[in-house]
Amino acid sequence: MKQPKAIVISGDGINCENETRYGLDVAGFQSQECHIAALLANPNMLDNFSLLVLPGGFSFGDEIASGKVISIKWMEKLNEITAKFVEQGRLVMGICNGFQMLVQMNLLPEQNNPGEKIVSLLHNEGGRFINKWVPMTVPLSAQKGYFASLEKIELPIRHGEGRIRPRAGLEDFVEKHGALHYVDDVNGSFKKIAALTNGKGNVLGLMPHPEAFVRFSQHPGWSDRVHRSQVAADDDLFEGRGPDGLAILRNACAMASNL
């Protein structure tokens, strides 16, 4: 089977591209980092990839709103080819700041006209930056694609603006596209939603960081888990699926392999 290719965007304050590339490569992708300036100069290079990843970070220092400035820059030259990429069924993943970009570009929970955002990502309730590991559940309707065979996961969140708020009157629509829910109300997000997918299931935006849990040693309680299970092999923990972040990226690789 041909190894699927992933393009990971860097530059303008994005700072998780290296960890993201590592996780994708471990999951089975052949990944390539690309500075946003290079992609703006040659948008057609997207045609060479099955997965587009917008990693986490603090693009443009979160000026105006998180992901706002870089999304304006992106839409100026890449709006049409990105819409085509999505329509062709190829995969897009936005992590944290990347999720904020997808929302600003009106790609989640569905592609929509500019200026008609369905959801916003607002400051956390309480106005504080949150950096912690959180347990989450996957609704039955989302246990496919990126979240195939996953019911409960645990990943870190690191954001100041991750509170999902739907546009008035579209609450049911947004709830239907929720792909992850915090077990506890960590930031005031609508219905405790931590991730959204589009109807096709090929575009995913999530506030937690899957690239931050692709090795068990990244988990703060990893040594205790190994000790209690008396098993050192990674894949023998967590019900044989490996770390939760890696499980998501492996599912993405399986999806991309079928394109």
Asked whether the beta carbons of 224 and 231 are under 8 A apart, the reply is: no
* pLDDT tens column, 108-127: 998 876 667 899 999 999 99
Instruction: Supply the residues annotated as catalytic.
Output: 96, 209, 211
Q: Report the C-alpha gap between 2 and 129 in whole angstroms.
A: 41
CA-nearest of 161, 162, 156, 160 to 194 is 162
pLDDT at res. 59? 64
Domain 5-257 has CATH 3.40.50.880: yes
The residues facing 197 across adjacent strands are 204
* pLDDT tens column, 37-53: 999 999 999 999 999 99
pLDDT at res. 234? 46
* pLDDT tens column, 209-235: 999 999 988 988 877 766 555 444 444
Tell me the domain boundaries of the chain: 5-257
pLDDT at res. 231? 46
Q: Mean pLDDT over residues 57-64, rounded?
A: 65
Poorest-pLDDT segment among 150-154, 157-161, 218-222, 234-238? 234-238
- Strands (E) across the chain are located at 5-10, 30-35, 51-54, 91-95, 119-122, 130-137, 152-159, 163-166, 178-182, 193-197, 203-206
Q: Mean pLDDT over residues 14-20, rounded?
A: 94
